[in-house]
Amino acid sequence: MSNKDHQLDASINLVGQGCPMNLVYTKVELAKMVSGQLLEIILDDGVPVRNVSRSIEEEGHDLLHKKQLTDGSWSVIVRKS
Amino acid sequence: MSDFTTDQLHRYSRHIILKEVGVEGQLSLNRARVLVVGAGGLGSPVALYLAAAGVGTLGIIDDDVVELSNLQRQIIHATPDVGRHKVESASNSLKAMNPDVKVEPYKFKLCADNVLSIVKEYDFVVDGTDNFAAKFLVNDACVLAGIPFSHGGVLRFAGQAMTILPGESACYRCVFRQPPPEDAVSSCSQAGILGAIAGILGTIQATEVLKFITGNGQLLTNTLMSFDALTMDFRKIPLSRQEDCPVCGLKPSITSPVDYKPAVCDPRSGKIE
């Protein structure tokens, strides 16, 4: 799994998932991974991308990359702490 | 790896999104075994909140039946439960609250002969009893078996709580050496209690259990927390282990649980006679 700049270990599409379930699914996915692995999260524009991005940083993970996709959703790439 | 169903992820979402609990903390709760001694004023909020939190196995012990006068504070029971055994009524409420929880009901009194074998089955014990003999019995058994527990007591408008990690922190007997003489104390039935007081204190005890299981914060160890709801004053009294404590001290005189009122356990029902 990869996108242009990053070799991804997992990707999860949370388009249509509101708060806080998008964060719950993100945390469940991160819990399956080991430190240093990369997760891509696809999130809706607006509150979802703002809240989930902030929460994963508050939990100590590295937010490596954030890019809006052509359909308006966001791809957020996180390195698990 | 999480084995949660989608329903469970929704049910526990407010725990999972807490940084301090998360997926791992919720899994620890789901694996935990907690014994609630007494399905009364304290046991009601304790058991309900632990079931809601997804504590995997809840033991609940009580030999009483539900009476109308219980319902003013014992919120795990409802009016149609009057006359039913408290552990049956409590099991129903807990199952309705959260079908994930396994309830282990004990329809008899704890006594010196059965207490060790029961508390040893659990990771944590909550004292929700209403009399000093039972409080000392729970303390001694948990200290002897090395099982962490929460002491709680309420009367009128006041309550107190203390968390005991045997071998590490002061036990109930380090602070209160022995039960007061029987005629020196009022029971709930004589003294009265504002129903919500049991809710405050039981909820504090449930919080201690959840903190212990998920490894968060500072427990009420080496501390007697007390409050007076009339003034809403809460205070914490620092305590320490006592070398001369008869159960957890250097030379303990109590090496097995004791019943304070001379009591005989009927091995079939476990009932004290």
- Residues from chain B that touch A21, judged by Cβ atoms under 8 A, are 9-10, 13
Residue B227, SS3 per DSSP? strand
Mutate to test the interface with B, among A23, A27, A35, A51 (most CBs of B within 10 A): A27
Nearest Cβ partner for A24 among B1, B9, B19 = B9
- Residues from chain A that touch B2, judged by Cβ atoms under 8 A, are 28, 31-32
Strand partners, A11: A40
Radius of gyration for chain B, computed over Cα atoms and rounded to the nearest angstrom: 18
Nearest Cβ partner for B2 among A23, A28, A55 = A28
Q: Tens of pLDDT along B47-93?
A: 999 999 999 999 999 999 999 999 999 999 999 999 999 999 999 99
DSSP B233: E
Model pLDDT, residue A5:
73
Per-residue pLDDT for B263 more than 70? no
Model pLDDT, residue B273:
35
Active site residues of B: 188
Strand partners, A41: A12, A76
- Long-range CB pairs of B6-10 (<8 Å, 24+ gap) are B8/B54, B8/B100, B9/A21, B9/A24, B9/A25, B9/A28, B10/A21, B10/A24
- Residues from chain A that touch B14, judged by Cβ atoms under 8 A, are 20
Model pLDDT, residue B270:
43
pLDDT band per the 50, 70, 90 thresholds, residue A6: confident
**Measured distance CA(B113)–CA(B258) in Å, rounded:** 9
Nearest Cβ partner for A24 among B1, B13, B24 = B13
Please state the rounded mean pLDDT for residues A3-16: 90
The CA distances from residue A74 to A40, B183, B222, in Å, are: 10, 71, 50
Determine the distance in angstroms separating the CA of A23 from the nearest CA of chain B, rounded to an integer: 7
3-state secondary structure chain A: CECCCCECCEEEECCCCCCCHHHHHHHHHHHCCCCCCEEEEEECCCHHHHHHHHHHHHCCCEEEEEEECCCCCEEEEEECC
Q: Which two tokens stand for residue B97?
A: 């609250």
**Measured distance CA(B228)–CA(B158) in Å, rounded:** 5
Q: Which residues of A touch B (CB under 8 A)?
A: 20-21, 23-25, 27-28, 31-32, 55, 58-59
Q: Are B109 and B272 in contact (CB under 8 A)?
A: yes
pLDDT band per the 50, 70, 90 thresholds, residue B189: low
| Ramachandran assignment for B54, one of left (phi > 0), alpha (psi -120 to 50 degrees), beta (any other) | left
Residue B61, SS3 per DSSP? strand
**Measured distance CA(B92)–CA(B113) in Å, rounded:** 28
Interface check for B78 against chain A (CB to CB < 8 A): the answer is no
HSE, side-chain direction, 13 A CA sphere, residue B153: 20
Interface check for B166 against chain A (CB to CB < 8 A): the answer is no
Count contacts between A and B (CB, < 8 Å). Answer: 33
pLDDT band per the 50, 70, 90 thresholds, residue B180: confident
Q: Are strands B33-37 and A38-43 parallel, antiparallel or unpaired?
A: unpaired
Q: Which of B21, B216, B19 is nearest to A57 (CA)?
A: B19
- The model's pTM is 0.93
Write down the ipTM of this complex: 0.92
Q: Are B54 and B29 in contact (CB under 8 A)?
A: yes
